[in-house]
A and B are shown apart, each in its own frame.
Chain A
Amino acid sequence: MTINLTQFINRLLQTIPVVIGVTLIVFSLMHLTPGDPVEIMMGQGSVTEGEIQRIREELGLHLPLPIQYFRFVTGIFKGDLGYSIYYRQPAGEVIFARLPATFELMVVAMIISLAIALPLGLISAVRQYSLVDKIGTIGALLGVSMPGFWLGLLLIMAFSVNWIFPVAGRIDFGMAPQRITGLYLLDSILTFNWPSFWSALRHILLPAITLGMSMTALTMKTIRSSMLEVIREDYITFARAKGLSRSQVVLKHALKNALIPTVTVITLNMGVLLGGNMIVETVFGWPGLGSLVVNAIFNRDYPLVQASVLIYAITFIICNLLADFLYTVLNPRVKF
């Protein structure tokens, strides 16, 4: 569990080539695809060739690609993620305005998913072939194979139309709490604004369940199988031979071992959640990063797509780092 600082910093430095690689790929992909962003900006017809040329020069789109790339990368280090063509605002600002919504959705999805997956996975392992195990296994298969957009639509049909949960959005109109962190649930708790909290909770529940579903299934499967492996180990029998009760052995001796692979799966899946939220945010009209990226792609808003993908990639890298870090914390046999 001792974390060597130099090794930690080493691991951190390893991420730099990855980030550079990501910027390169993002940049090339956007420029290789056909379609002129300036034309889209201007709409059809009414602008002159000279005007288009002027805007292209303004945005630096007339420069050779390597120079555009160089400007893109140096911009990042200056905190400049580019200028959104469509929103006519710095891309960074557009993204960071949306980030809390996505983050909030991810966190709630994660909490729901863990709250279901951990106990269910644990019980299905300890009581293998029991009813809970069978239901869990079938449920997990369903959860994994159900695409997010379809589940989302089903949930909307089942619960939303004139019923308990709203169809879309983050909160009822005019209910937004005073902005402190940008997370509506947290902000409304901090300001004791219970009506807002209730409204935000009702809005977030369905998208969060949809988003977390595949992860729930995967986490449950992982914890079940690693638990099944662990409870057959000698040290479990030995712990029982000490006189510990079954539940003490499961919760203390077995779970700690079974969590090692599970935590890795969970942290790596946080990245997948981020990808999945494009669909979920679009289905539920959630004003987060996912729907922003989808729109930016349709609008050929190069700088905005570049900037968002960069944010995605960095989040992925952080998740990876976190997975490595937690792995060493949980497993005393491994160091960074």
Chain B
Amino acid sequence: MAELLKIKDLQVHFFTDYGVVKAVDGIDLTLQEGEALGILGESGCGKSMTALAVMGLVPFPGRITGGEIIFAGRDLCRLTEKEMRRIRGKEIAMIFQDPLTTLNPVLKVGEQITEAIRLHHEEGDLSPASGRRGFFRFWEDRRRREMAAWKKAVEMMEKVGIPSPELRMEEYPHQFSGGMRQRAMIAIALSCNPRLLIADELTTALDVTIQAQILDLMRRIKEDFRTSILFISHDLGAISELCDRAAVMYAGKIVETGSVQEITGAPFHPYTQGILASIPRLGEKEYRIKPIPGNVPDLGDLPAGCSFFPRCPYGQAKCKTELPPLEEAGEGRQVRCFYWRQIRAQREEEGGIGGELSFAGD
């Protein structure tokens, strides 16, 4: 498998009136061709900003202040806006969290799909040029392109499971249900056969049954289209359903990476453990949900040492002053904690799996 996306020491900073907010603070990620990578983390830990940085759409007053985003051999940070436009939508597509607000309410769904198709397909790509010459040729070609884009859009809507797509093309987003809008959005994103699909909190705004359907659809996309997926979520369940590997982010940094089995089965970082422990389980005697105490620190005013230290049950004096490095902890596995070895040892001793390890003082 070839490397499709490699993010090196990426930094996205926001220059606000109250100081610099380090939304993404030096993260490294790699994504193989055909792989699905999950990024897990609480709200406000920089997941979405990482995605927007890859798209080159970091909103003002934010800026990519350092690092590289190598996509298929090219550093996206160095591309001009015009070059970036050719990549957006065509090579890297992105789908957003809230299907209710992501489709333009005043444009027909069909128009919103064909727009992307017309934009990225070359003229000959959609349909061969007509035999006519001269004045009419322009209109003829245009009409053919539009027809071809229309056909392609209908096909895409069918593929993502929207019933009677021809009729639905003529409707406005408000005539679609939430799940159908999500599908329409996925159809738009896939319409140009992107190599990388970024899904930002794709299932968060949907109810559980629809979530399952959409995840199912995503899995099919991964297999049928061979699209690599960067799946951003705070829902470990969704990530473990879809992804091969996962990266856990906390306060703009990656704290743990590994295969989904490793992350969910044997997390080394206390934060990952906290996330796992906070998932309610069937058949448990304790009915209360165990949250991680405290909140994500203010990204404009991060502690000097480990940013998880204030909430960490294992915290030592060293953690307060020194930033732990991202250490290799096995094949394709990285952890940003000074004490991950001890945690692993303790885990093996107890023979427990994620969630059953109790926090000190809990």
Contacts and interface: CB of A to CB of B under 8 A. Distances in A.
Task: Report if A and B associate in a common complex.
Answer: yes
Nearest to B82: A245
B101 interface: yes
B333 interface: no
Interface stretch (A48-56, A204-212, A306-314, A325-333): A325-333
A238 interface: yes
A248 to B, nearest CB: 9
A153 interface: no
Interface string A297-336: 0000000000000000000000000000000001111000
A240 B119 contact: no
Nearest to B103: A235
Interface string B73-96: 000000000000111111001101
Given A238-B94, A242-B89, A244-B119, 15 more contacts: A233-B101, A234-B97, A237-B59, A238-B102, A239-B104, A243-B88, A244-B115, A256-B104, A256-B107, A257-B106, A330-B106, A332-B106, A333-B105, A333-B172, A333-B174
A243 B107 contact: no
Given A241-B57, A243-B120, A244-B119, A332 B172 contact: yes
Interface in B235-262: none
Contact of B96 (A234, A244, A333): A234
> What bracket does the count of chain B residues touching chain A fall in?
20 to 34
B55 interface: yes
Contacts of A252: 107
Contacts of B106: 256-257, 260, 330-332
B187 interface: no
> What bracket does the count of chain A residues touching chain B fall in?
20 to 34
Given A242-B115, A243-B116, A256-B107, A234 B172 contact: no
17 contacts: A234-B97, A234-B102, A237-B57, A237-B59, A238-B102, A238-B103, A240-B55, A241-B55, A242-B93, A242-B115, A243-B85, A243-B116, A243-B119, A243-B120, A244-B115, A253-B107, A331-B106
B188 interface: yes
A34 to B, nearest CB: 55
Contacts of A235: 101-105
A240 B88 contact: yes
A234 B174 contact: no
A242 B92 CA distance: 9
A239 B116 CA distance: 9
Per CB-CB distance, the 3 closest pairs between chain A and chain B, nearest first, are: A243-B89, A243-B88, A242-B89
B188 A242 contact: yes
A225 to B, nearest CB: 18
